[in-house]
Amino acid sequence: MGTRENLRNVAIIAHVDHGKTTLVDQLLRQSGIFRANENVAERVMDSNDLERERGITILSKNTAVMYENTKINIVDTPGHADFGGEVERILMMVDGVLLLVDAFEGCMPQTRFVLKKALGLGKKPVVVVNKIDRPGARPAEVVDEVLDLFIELGADDEQLEFPVVYASARGGYASLDPNVPGTDMKPLFEMILNEVPAPQGDLEGPTQVLFSNIDYDDYVGRIGIGRVERGRIQTGQMVTICGEEETPRNARVTKLYQFEGLKRVEAESAELGDIVAVSGIADLNIGQTACAMDCVEPLPFVQIDEPTVSMMFMVNNSPFAGKEGKFVTSRNLRDRLFKEVETNVAMRVEETDSADTFKVSGRGELHLSILIEQMRRQGYEFQVSPPSVIYREKDGKKLEPIELLMIEVPDGYVGAVMEKLGPRKAELLNMGTRDSGTTHLEFKIPARGLMGYRSEFLTDTNGNGIMNHVFDGYEAFKGDIQHRTQGSIIAHEAGESTAYGLFYAQERGRMFIGPGVEVYEGMIVGSNPKNEDIVVNVCKKKHATNTRSSGADEALKLTPHSVLSLEQCLEFIAEDELVEITPESIRMRKCVLSKELRMKQASKRK
């Protein structure tokens, strides 16, 4: 057995928006990775466009910094529970975790979620209380909250003796005392070296590398990212790829990379504890092990949580099909979805009876809407059904996914929130007030009860509320929930919307389009407060007559229309409706476009 003292592997885990990516920025800057004159983007780790726009991390990233001759491999992980599949496997590559907690918000649902995974795998935690320069920061209380959480999650005595560092990632400093601001990140670097265990194992044994992540490159194909668990690996070496249940096969390591700063650097070899990227192995999957050919021993891999929400992805068949997208056929759609599953472990894709329809399951609405948005930007055109939860059967009982929901709202809005959550079958677990006039509420709620709630919640609290939720487990079915109380306003015919037509339509409800928009029969152009659909003609033109009354030519005043985002569209549509998605537009429509056919089907049902 040997220990590599000059190496540390650590993951940064935290709730959304508590500053993980900003902290990694500072560690990179202060370890001298960038040249003094180099222009570096903020949140440099969030590399894809969607991450930069939304300010969230979706994919985990690897980076490495040098501090006093010790290499520290840092993995930045997503905070959203929808990307929990990423967090679980990343923890397999590291020996310790930095648990980041906001000095004002304290422990949030995702903090609990990621910490539970880390403690379960026996990782050594270091608690970083971030944003101590924020107004209203309460670092001492937050440390107590973290301790309570550790006890609640069943941490052992050694894990309970966690060290604490107080930091401001934005300010670029850390300190061991909340009342004495530091000057740089040195206390945090020291803490990592002293507290995170160095990798241990058999330095001279036969090769063993466990792959926890897959990247894809258009030039070299699949790149496996993993950790050397035993011995060493070299460029050009022949290895055996094996898993717990599959037949082993041989492959050659054509290239080997190690991480330095944000770059992958080619290396000749790597040894125990190193995090490496390997190219040249076709069909490599997450959770597989590369072993020496004379000693084939696959390593066990973490069990990844099952998906809880599914949607149907279909080929677009609306009257506007094929006008705006580049990839429109069922073959394009099929190839893209199956390629996604290769790197996105928490997602499943199944074929259905129809060749044009695929069932895609994921960890939540956000997980699926990010995929839709990525495909849209890559030029795909398709349509999707409303999200539905995945039920399970156990001992003849129907079980459904339950979420833990945490809400913070100003005291005046508590009644409005409670009133809406009652019919959605939410159960209040905890209620407390904070000094600043806000109330903290905790609920258990069926995942279906949350669908479509976020936009209502923002309206009910005038945008002042914060809500977070995390998957809690499966429980017995809670009964029916009435979802939408509004009906749709549907276009009567194909054409271009006119101000005249919209002026008379807006009396019926809220419009989603303005004048000059191409519409087709059966397309949803607005919502009305009654629980029934209304068909209106938004393309109606004013007929010219030879009489002129005094008020005839006054300008028509149009109420500004609402523009719905992709998530809002998915929340709005009912069972018999679809969202049509193209690179240029997002439209909502009825499954059956013709009004006559819809009437016939409705009368048959009655």
Tens of pLDDT along 134-143?
887 788 888 8
What per-residue confidence (pLDDT) applies to 208? Answer: 83
pLDDT, mean of residues 434-447: 82
Contact of 447 with 390, CB cutoff 8 Å? no
Q: What DSSP element (H or E) covers 38? A: none
What per-residue confidence (pLDDT) applies to 3? Answer: 76
What per-residue confidence (pLDDT) applies to 78? Answer: 59
The phi and psi torsions of 249 (rounded to 5 degrees) equal: -145, 155
Asked if residue 81 has pLDDT above 60, the reply is no
The CB-based long-range contact list for 563-569 (8 Å cut-off, 24+ gap) reads 563/512, 564/512, 564/588, 566/369, 566/372, 566/373, 567/365, 567/366, 567/369, 567/454, 568/455
| Integer Cα distance of 25 and 21 in angstroms | 6
Comparing 83-87, 232-236, 241-245, the range with the smallest average pLDDT is 83-87
20 annotated among ligand-binding-site residues: yes
Contact of 104 with 131, CB cutoff 8 Å? yes
133 annotated among ligand-binding-site residues: yes
Asked if residue 196 has pLDDT above 80, the reply is yes
Contact of 189 with 153, CB cutoff 8 Å? no
Contact of 220 with 279, CB cutoff 8 Å? yes
pLDDT, mean of residues 467-478: 82
The phi and psi torsions of 241 (rounded to 5 degrees) equal: -95, 125
522 annotated among ligand-binding-site residues: no
| Integer Cα distance of 457 and 316 in angstroms | 32
DSSP string of 112-160, one letter each residue:
HHHHHHHHHTTPEEEEEEE-TTSTT--HHHHHHHHHHHHHHTT--HHHH
| Integer Cα distance of 100 and 106 in angstroms | 10
Pairing between β-strand 348-351 and β-strand 427-433 as defined by DSSP bridges: unpaired
* Averaged pLDDT score across all residues of the chain: 80
18 annotated among ligand-binding-site residues: yes
Q: State the span(s) of the chain assigned CATH 2.40.30.10.
A: 202-292
State both tokens at 358. 């695929």
Contact of 474 with 444, CB cutoff 8 Å? no
Asked if residue 240 has pLDDT above 70, the reply is yes
Band the pLDDT of 45: cuts 50, 70, 90.
very low
Cβ contacts of 296 within 8 Å, gap of 6 or more: 240, 242, 248
Q: What DSSP element (H or E) covers 428? A: strand 427-433
Band the pLDDT of 17: cuts 50, 70, 90.
low
State both tokens at 99. 């648990």
131 annotated among ligand-binding-site residues: yes
| Range 202-292: architecture per CATH | Beta Barrel (2.40)
Asked if residue 471 has pLDDT above 80, the reply is no
Band the pLDDT of 131: cuts 50, 70, 90.
confident
Q: In what order do the strands lie in the sheet with 61-67?
A: 61-67, 70-76, 7-14, 96-102, 124-130, 164-168, 173-175
Band the pLDDT of 38: cuts 50, 70, 90.
very low
State both tokens at 550. 């005094």
Q: State the span(s) of the chain assigned CATH 3.30.70.240.
A: 392-476
| Range 487-542+557-577+587-605: architecture per CATH | Beta Barrel (2.40)
In sequence order, what are the beta bridge partners of 566? none
Chain segment 498-554, per-residue pLDDT in tens: 988 898 888 888 999 999 999 999 999 999 988 888 999 988 887 766 666 555 555
What per-residue confidence (pLDDT) applies to 58? Answer: 40
What per-residue confidence (pLDDT) applies to 351? Answer: 92
Asked if residue 55 has pLDDT above 70, the reply is no
Asked if residue 107 has pLDDT above 80, the reply is no
Asked if residue 172 has pLDDT above 90, the reply is no
pLDDT, mean of residues 481-509: 87
What per-residue confidence (pLDDT) applies to 59? Answer: 44
Q: State the span(s) of the chain assigned CATH 2.40.50.250.
A: 487-542+557-577+587-605
17 annotated among ligand-binding-site residues: yes
What per-residue confidence (pLDDT) applies to 218? Answer: 66
What per-residue confidence (pLDDT) applies to 551? Answer: 54
Tell me, what amino acid is at 254?
T
Q: Categorise residue 455: left if φ over 0, alpha if ψ from -120 to 50, beta otherwise.
A: alpha
| Integer Cα distance of 65 and 73 in angstroms | 7
Q: Residue written as tokens 């930045």?
A: 76
In sequence order, what are the beta bridge partners of 127? 99, 164
| Integer Cα distance of 74 and 299 in angstroms | 23
69 annotated among ligand-binding-site residues: no
What per-residue confidence (pLDDT) applies to 184? Answer: 79
| Integer Cα distance of 232 and 274 in angstroms | 9
492 annotated among ligand-binding-site residues: no
The three-state secondary structure class of 519 is strand
Burial class (CB in 10 A: 0-12, 13-18, 19+), 579: buried
Q: What DSSP element (H or E) covers 350? A: strand 348-351
State both tokens at 558. 């149009």
The three-state secondary structure class of 292 is strand
What per-residue confidence (pLDDT) applies to 520? Answer: 92
Cβ contacts of 92 within 8 Å, gap of 6 or more: 121, 210, 212, 227, 301, 302
pLDDT, mean of residues 30-57: 46
Q: Residue written as tokens 């004379």?
A: 294
Contact of 257 with 64, CB cutoff 8 Å? no
Q: CA angle at residue 122 from 117 to 128, to 5 degrees?
A: 70
What per-residue confidence (pLDDT) applies to 580? Answer: 94
| Integer Cα distance of 565 and 586 in angstroms | 8
Asked if residue 251 has pLDDT above 60, the reply is yes
| Integer Cα distance of 452 and 215 in angstroms | 33
CATH for 392-476, options being 3.40.718.10, 3.40.190.10, 3.30.530.20, 3.30.70.240: 3.30.70.240
275 annotated among ligand-binding-site residues: no
What per-residue confidence (pLDDT) applies to 51? Answer: 44
| Range 2-200: architecture per CATH | 3-Layer(aba) Sandwich (3.40)
| Integer Cα distance of 5 and 70 in angstroms | 8
DSSP string of 539-575, one letter each residue:
T--PPP-S---TTTTSPPPPPPPPPPPHHHHHHH--T
Contact of 519 with 525, CB cutoff 8 Å? yes
Burial class (CB in 10 A: 0-12, 13-18, 19+), 192: buried
305 annotated among ligand-binding-site residues: no
State both tokens at 128. 């970083």
| Chain CA centroid to CA 277, Å | 24
| Integer Cα distance of 123 and 92 in angstroms | 9
